[in-house]
Chains A and B, each alone.
Chain A
Amino acid sequence: MPPSAERSALGRIGIFLAFLALLLIAWEGVKLLGGDPWRSDGKVVWDPPLNIWFASNLMLPHVWDIWRALADPVQRGTEQSLAAFLMGAAFYTWREAAIGFVAGAVIGIALAALFVHSRLAERAFVPYVIASQTIPIVALAPMIVFAFGPNVTSVVIIATYLTFFPVTIAMIRGLRSPDPRALELMRSYAAGRWSVFWKLRMPASLPYLFTALKIAATASVVGAIVGEGPGGIPDGLGRAIVNFNTQYITGPEKLWAAILASAVIGIAFFGIVRVAEVVTLRSRGLRTEAA
């Protein structure tokens, strides 16, 4: 890495950390001004002068309370900490999301390839592809579970369902992106559709593909989490979120921790795709703009 790139990478991390610090200060600042009385060992150490409705401990727990909850056992009488439990659940959910992501990407590319080569197929099917995305996932998920049974397969199908759409739309654009003269050039070499697809359309569409894959990465995580509820999967983040939701009054920190865990896998997945993008595009001499 050249020095300037190194500096900009460090700079980006620095900005991220600085903003995170600001966010935490704002969070606790609101509680300092208008939250519940601050206690230490049961004694009130600070009574905020104002009353801000969303700054209560129930709505907005202290950052350190969330942190402490992560170290506490996930349930009374168990050894496992909340952090360890959430890590396991997050990994489980991420695996479902990743399988759905790969399946969705493959289906998305295949559909786009079909549409680019057949106007008839495009006219006939694209409206249904779009319509499919207007059906709320909460309505569709129970149907998928009913059809495929309460198991991981159903969850993966739901994740796939949320993934293929951005890939299809972006790839229709990407596969059509080559310069018309590049297509004429291939024609002058008597290149068949197959060669034109693999040597021209597909490589030209890679920047579009990666943009879609980054959207798909986060969408697949949402799909997996939402699907775990009706899918009856006990081991993932989806069930944890449902459970912690019912326990919110007694322990809001746990739900916050679970939300944090889902955000972390979403960001991590996005990051993996971004790294793959930079590596792939750079090795092909293409520019890679951030995000």
Chain B
Amino acid sequence: MTGEAGAPAVVRIASVEKRFEAGGGGTVALAGIDLDIGRGEFVSLIGPSGCGKSTLLRLIGDLIAPSAGTVEVNGKAAHAARLGREYGIVFQAPVLFEWRTVEDNVKLPLELMGMGRPDRERRARAMLELVELGEFARHHPYQLSGGMQQRVAIARALALEPAILLMDEPFGALDEMTRERMNSEVLRIWRQTGTTIVFVTHSIPEAVFLSTRVVVMSARPGRITRLVEVPLAHPRNDETREDPTYFRLVTEVREALRGGGGGSDATDGVDGPSPERLAAEGGIG
């Protein structure tokens, strides 16, 4: 599996497996994961609950370590990349520090890397302009709506100009209208900054609308079952959502999720084969 032709890989995942020890045995959360993500790509991870898509995201970000296999980011081990502060992360909840103003929340990573005060000031301003919240710099998080708080979280994640932006169902808690607006917003930011984005979602239309490539996963154990290229033109807008190609891709991803391969039903898979056997089979690729 390679990224877009010619683009150097920012993320290189090879034969990754993740087990969680619990009680007597352990559960295999991910097995046989191989994935390359090219520079500037927008990759969505989609799959049913328990398919390990958030786990995969956390592995890329070195928030957890793989049980086997390697994760490289920018040619370094994920651990080294994290220490080099090459990640920006956005969670489903904004996770803003409520005692800090909007501006000071964006400055947090800059403080941690030891950037001087004037530079911090300038960068935080620029990031807030990017997410169009410049006038709310001195507000406290509780004074902002959910969508605005999530934009602050995006500004904070981008403040360090990370090599890669990891987003874990960032708009899952928002209403449909806000979610569509945020989708356009995040695409604009992606085009403007050229950041590589890995995006975890439950929503098929969201995945297709945003991505250059959709990674379809199935559960028990979590593995990659299909890669769907999204050749929709940019900039994408409301018309994109009515494009026949868009519908075809949505259907393709939906069918990939249903077919899954392996389990009786990839969207549930209660009666699927034992984790051990699937782990031995490995994922595709």
Contacts and interface: CB of A to CB of B under 8 A. Distances in A.
A20 interface: no
Contacts, number: 58
Interface string A185-198: 11111110001000
A286 B141 CA distance: 10
Contacts of A181: 91, 93, 95
Interface string B91-114: 101010111110000001101110
A204 B82 CA distance: 24
* A interface SS class: helix
A285 interface: yes
Contact of A184 (B63, B109, B142): B63
Nearest to B109: A189
Interface residues of B, number: 28
Contact of B99 (A189, A191, A285): A285
B85 A285 contact: no
Contact of A286 (B83, B98, B113): B98
Interface in B50-99: 58, 61-63, 82-85, 87-89, 91, 93, 95, 97-99
Interface string B163-178: 0000000000000000
B243 to A, nearest CB: 36
Given A199-B108, A285-B140, A189 B97 contact: no
Contacts of B84: 190
Interface residues of A, number: 20
Given A189-B109, A199-B111, A285-B140, A182 B97 contact: yes
B85 A190 contact: yes
Interface of A: 179, 181-182, 184-191, 195, 199-200, 203-204, 206, 284-286
Given A181-B91, A190-B82, 20 more contacts: A179-B95, A181-B95, A184-B89, A188-B63, A188-B82, A188-B88, A188-B89, A189-B85, A189-B112, A189-B113, A190-B84, A190-B112, A191-B112, A195-B112, A199-B97, A199-B108, A204-B97, A204-B99, A284-B98, A286-B98
